[in-house]
Amino acid sequence: MTDVKQLRLGILGSGKGSNMVAIADAVAAGTVPAVIAVVLSDVAEAGILERARERGIRAEFIAPGKFRTKLDEAAEMAYIAALQAAQVEVVVLAGFMRILKGEFLRAFANRVINIHPSLLPSFPGLEAWRQALDYGVKVTGCTVHFVDQGIDTGPIIVQQTVPVLDDDTPVSLHERIQQAERVAYPAAIAALARGAVTVRGRRTTLGQGR
Ligand code: GRF
C-alpha cells in the first residue's frame, strides 16, 4: 500500500466556522487527504475556534492589531509564525474578515485559497448574496479561488451554482449558498491535496493527480 501524503492545512476564520467543520468532517471521513494543523482567528470568541477545539484541533486567537480591515505588521508576522510553526502547506481562508497582502502572500506564495459566496467575477466584496439578490440574477453560487493581491480576483479552482428563488430573502439565499460551499471547499482542497490542480495564468485545470 502506498502512503498518500497528507496536505497540512492552516484555516483562518472570523465567524461561525461552518466551512471549517465541513472540511474537518471530510478529512475525518477520508475524502480529503489532508490534516488541519491549526485554526487561527482574529476574533477571540469566534465559533470557529470553539468548533475546532471540540474536534481536538489546535485553535488560537491572534490579535489583529490596530486596523479594522487588515492585520497590522506585528499581527501579520504572528500569523505567519504560527502557520510556519505548524508546518502549514496551504492556508485556507474560511470567512476571515481581513485582507491579506504583501508579506503574508509572499510567505505562502500561491498557497492561500479562499471561498467567496458568489460566482466570481460577479459580486466581489461584502455580502455577495445580498448583491446578487439586489441585482436580480437568477443563478448565483460560490467560488473557491487562489488569493492574489486583489480582492476576490485570484485564479478560480472550483465554482458551484445555486438558483435564486422568487421568494428568497438574503438569509435564505445565503443559507443555500453556504450549503454549496460545504461541498465545493472540501472538493477543491481534495484536488489540491492530490496534486491535481495545475495553474496556467488565470486558468486552472483539475486533472487526476496522485
Ligand atoms: C462563508 O459564507 C464564506 O463564503 C465567506 O464567509 C463565510 C464564512 O462562514 N467568505 P463560516 O464561518 O465558514 O460559517
Tens-place pLDDT, residues 168-180? 999 999 999 999 9
pLDDT of residue 3: 59
Measure 96 CA to ligand 1 centroid, in angstroms: 8
Q: Which sign does the torsion angle of CA 7, 12, 18, 21 carry? A: positive
pLDDT of residue 114: 98
Residue ranges of alpha helices (H) inside 40-135 are 47-54, 73-85, 102-107, 128-135
Q: pLDDT (tens digit, 9 = 90+) per residue, 114-153? A: 999 999 999 999 999 999 999 999 999 999 999 999 999 9
Range 94-108 average pLDDT:
95
pLDDT of residue 77: 96
pLDDT of residue 73: 94
Distance CA 13, CA 5 (A): 25
Query: Is residue 19 left, alpha or beta, with left meaning phi > 0 and alpha meaning psi from -120 to 50?
Result: alpha
Range 6-25 average pLDDT:
97
Q: Is 89 in the pocket of ligand 1 (CB under 6 A)?
A: no
pLDDT of residue 30: 96
| 116 carries an active-site annotation | yes
Q: Which atom of ligand 1 is nearest to the CA of 117?
A: 4
Q: Is 14 in the pocket of ligand 1 (CB under 6 A)?
A: no
Q: Is 117 in the pocket of ligand 1 (CB under 6 A)?
A: yes
Distance CA 138, CA 136 (A): 6
More confident residue, 2 or 193: 193
Predicted TM-score (pTM) of this structure: 0.96
pLDDT of residue 115: 98
The answer to whether the beta carbons of residues 13 and 94 sit under 8 Å apart is: yes
Q: Is 181 in the pocket of ligand 1 (CB under 6 A)?
A: yes
Measure 29 CA to ligand 1 centroid, in angstroms: 22
pLDDT of residue 4: 66
Q: pLDDT (tens digit, 9 = 90+) per residue, 17-71? A: 999 999 999 999 999 999 999 999 999 999 999 999 999 999 999 999 999 999 9
The answer to whether the beta carbons of residues 36 and 87 sit under 8 Å apart is: no
The active-site residue, picked from 48, 78, 100, 116, is 116
